[in-house]
């Protein structure tokens, strides 16, 4: 899921604090093996209110460095583990886009195919028209399709306290989620602007299912998880728990940051259809590193994935399920973030795939994962 469960007010305050902290002249990249700035950023996140942080870095020399701070269980005080499994939210979008691009390489579809071709009649109403939206526009968020996470009924039922606590183990189908989005007017005409929409990737997953005849998760497992030997990565389907080792996950489930803290570790992931995957930091580093090194996609498809469009942030651009982040020291890293109940994550790598980082917070209302990225790649 791409929309944070934390409040807009909290996110804005965090962004302002991060901007102030990063002001000043650009810093050179830290020398290989120097992670002191990353340690400080991890401790700072806990000081800001994150229960616990887990970070793993894949170094240019091939080694691995990892650290944690804070706790994995607020009740017992048990610390976080560098091997924790966690829900990765919208970082799953890169996996989905990768499968779509593999299918394109095999001639099963074209990025210029319309949504209507593969999902007839599904995208219509309130100016939505699937015959005018391409697969490419789904993957780079230029479709104009309304984001189901912005639907008030969705928020009351699956994101806010009373609804989530009552409905956390309910099942909702992807088609029901798309239908919910179709009750709203489209955001803009396809191809004329950019806006992040989780509905885009629900539709992309359904295109995979239409072509393969099986749940999209099976394609992710067969095409990515198994070949790369990602032993901690899974598509949970109906599983409501997170495999061990793992920490508890905590959320506020409120529109303001002042409410009680809830344990939101267990829930049925169907409402987060395109963001339901579970992984750990080592696996995410392996995946993004292999992807950017050309081990997962053919050269033409990887080039298409890295073909970016502007977003609402000057320092970020969006490709096909892949973001580029221009850091304050001038370096650019590639990857994706992910936010879902009780979990905020970010996984990035350099363009050559040789220096990677994955970070997870087991709380969704404080801290900023990009600050950890800045610390590792800019040395401050």
Are 246 and 84 in contact, with CB atoms under 8 Å apart?
yes
Alpha helices (H) in the chain, listed in sequence order: 8-21, 36-48, 92-105, 115-118, 135-139, 152-154, 161-167, 174-181, 198-212, 216-220, 281-292, 299-305, 369-378
Are 196 and 147 in contact, with CB atoms under 8 Å apart?
yes
Give me the catalytic one of 90, 143, 197, 324: 90
Query: Under 8 Å CB-to-CB from 301, ≥6 apart: which residues?
Result: 101, 102, 104, 105
Please state whether the peptide bond connecting residue 147 to the residue before it is cis, i.e. omega within 30 degrees of 0. no
Per-residue tokens: 27: 């810093």
Buried-exposed string 118-142: b where 16+ CB fall within 10 A, e elsewhere: bbeebbeeeebbbebbbbbbbbbbb
- Measured CA to CA in angstroms, residue 208 lies from 80, 90, 148, 174, 275 at distances of 36, 17, 20, 13, 15
Per-residue tokens: 31: 């020398």
Give phi and psi for 222, each to the nearest 5.
-75, -35
Query: Under 8 Å CB-to-CB from 260, ≥6 apart: which residues?
Result: 252
For 191-213, the DSSP string reads TS-----HHHHHHHHHHHHHHHS
Residue 90 among the catalytic residues: yes
User: How far is the C-alpha of 357 from the C-alpha of 124, rounded, in Å?
Assistant: 40
Are 93 and 196 in contact, with CB atoms under 8 Å apart?
no
User: How far is the C-alpha of 302 from the C-alpha of 263, rounded, in Å?
Assistant: 39
Are 194 and 310 in contact, with CB atoms under 8 Å apart?
yes
Q: Which residues are catalytic?
A: 90
């Amino acid at each position: 899921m791409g929309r944070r469960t934390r409040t807009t007010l909290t996110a804005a305050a965090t962004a302002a604090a991060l901007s102030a902290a990063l002001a000043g002249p650009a810093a050179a990249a830290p020398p290989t093996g120097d992670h002191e700035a990353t340690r400080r950023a991890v401790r700072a996140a806990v000081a800001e209110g994150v229960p616990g942080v887990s970070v793993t870095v894949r170094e240019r020399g091939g080694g691995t460095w990892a650290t944690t701070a804070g706790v994995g269980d607020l009740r017992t005080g048990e610390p976080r583990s560098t091997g924790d499994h966690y829900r990765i939210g919208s970082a799953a979008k890169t996996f989905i886009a990768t499968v779509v691009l593999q299918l394109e390489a095999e001639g099963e579809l074209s990025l210029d195919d319309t949504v209507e071709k593969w999902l007839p009649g599904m995208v219509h109403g309130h100016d939505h028209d699937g015959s005018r939206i391409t697969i490419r526009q789904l993957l780079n968020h230029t479709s104009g399709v309304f984001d189901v996470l912005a639907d008030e009924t969705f928020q009351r039922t699956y994101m806010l306290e009373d609804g989530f606590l009552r409905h956390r183990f309910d099942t909702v189908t992807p088609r029901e989620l798309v239908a919910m989005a179709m009750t709203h007017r489209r955001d803009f005409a396809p191809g004329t602007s950019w806006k992040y929409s989780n509905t885009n990737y629900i539709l992309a997953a359904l295109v995979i299912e239409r072509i393969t005849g099986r749940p999209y998760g099976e394609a992710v497992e067969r095409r990515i998880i198994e070949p790369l030997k990602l032993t901690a990565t899974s598509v949970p389907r109906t599983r409501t728990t997170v495999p061990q080792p793992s920490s508890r996950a905590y959320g506020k489930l409120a529109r303001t940051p002042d409410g009680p803290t809830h344990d939101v570790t267990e829930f049925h992931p169907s409402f987060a259809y395109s963001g339901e995957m579970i992984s750990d930091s080592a696996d995410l580093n392996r995946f993004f590193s292999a992807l950017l090194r050309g081990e997962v996609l053919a050269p033409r498809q990887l080039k298409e994935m890295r073909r970016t469009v502007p977003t609402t942030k000057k320092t970020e651009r969006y490709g096909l399920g892949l973001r580029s982040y221009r850091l304050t020291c001038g370096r650019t890293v590639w990857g994706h973030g992910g936010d879902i109940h009780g979990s905020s994550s970010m996984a990035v790598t350099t363009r050559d795939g040789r220096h990677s980082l994955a970070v997870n917070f087991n709380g969704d209302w404080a801290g900023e994962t990009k600050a950890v990225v800045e610390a590792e790649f800019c040395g401050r």
